[in-house]
Amino acid sequence: MDEPAPTPKLPPARERVGPINACLAALYPEFEGLNHNGPFQLLVAVILSAQCTDKRVNTITPALFARFPTARDIAECDIAELEQLIKPSGFYKNKAKNIRACCVGMVTRFGGEVPGTLDDLVTLPGIGRKTANVILGHAFETPGVTVDTHVGRLARRLGLTRHRNPVKVEFALLEIVPQEERLHFSGRLIMHGRKVCLARKPRCETCAIADLCPKIGVKGLAAKRRRKGRKSASPKSASQKTVSKTRRSAD
């Protein structure tokens, strides 16, 4: 179900997002990013970054783009060679398939160039709304809100939206985050989600925005951990059960 239980009474999200963003900006003045030279390199790098750190991707792409500098080069490449070049990124067979199919689409439909609109980008293999917004924001100066698991989770925990559908989260944040801050705000939430506001055990005691956060769902996580701890501690071991059963039989 898209709409969970109502959030506690809070000031409007539009009023709260500014102070939250300001604190995160001070905390992450420069967050990790993908090295690239132009839209094509960024597109390939973003596909590689799935289930892989930006740091690792940045070690892979120099050799990759030296060997295949254009979309046409990748569209016409031996996929086995492409796989070997991107293997350290993980899930390399599927990524190689998507990258080459994406480049074929660019060559056949867009003259080998990366299209500059979201509607066109999402028609390419391996490109969803999140990837498209990253490309538009960084390469075409058209900032959007990129919603991954961290952004969606923190947006709900901070009480900025109740939606779970990523597209609905995206549109909700577009309404309250100033255009010039959208891309940076997404990146800051991602970094905060990785380093502090963890999914199962958020570090609220050291969180710089703890006073601004209603911590929606956090109490439920703590209660769940306590129940799990009691459950794992309460059952008798197999040897204890055997001894108890033997004693009852003897009686």
Catalytic residues: 130, 148
Q: In angstroms, rounded to a whole number, what is the distance separating the alpha carbons of residues 33 and 46? A: 10
Q: Are 116 and 140 in contact (CB under 8 A)?
A: yes
Q: Are 88 and 59 in contact (CB under 8 A)?
A: yes
Class of residue 132 by CB neighbours under 10 A (exposed 0-12, middle 13-18, buried 19+): buried
Taken in order 84, 87, 91, 97, is the CA torsion positive or negative?
A: negative
Q: Are 132 and 122 in contact (CB under 8 A)?
A: yes
Q: In angstroms, rounded to a whole number, what is the distance separating the alpha carbons of residues 36 and 229? A: 46
Of 19, 15, 25, 111, give the one whose Cα is nearest residue 72.
111
Half-sphere exposure at residue 187, Cβ-oriented, CA atoms within 13 angstroms: 21
Between helix 166-176 and helix 13-27 the angle, nearest 10°, is 90
Q: Are 50 and 199 in contact (CB under 8 A)?
A: no
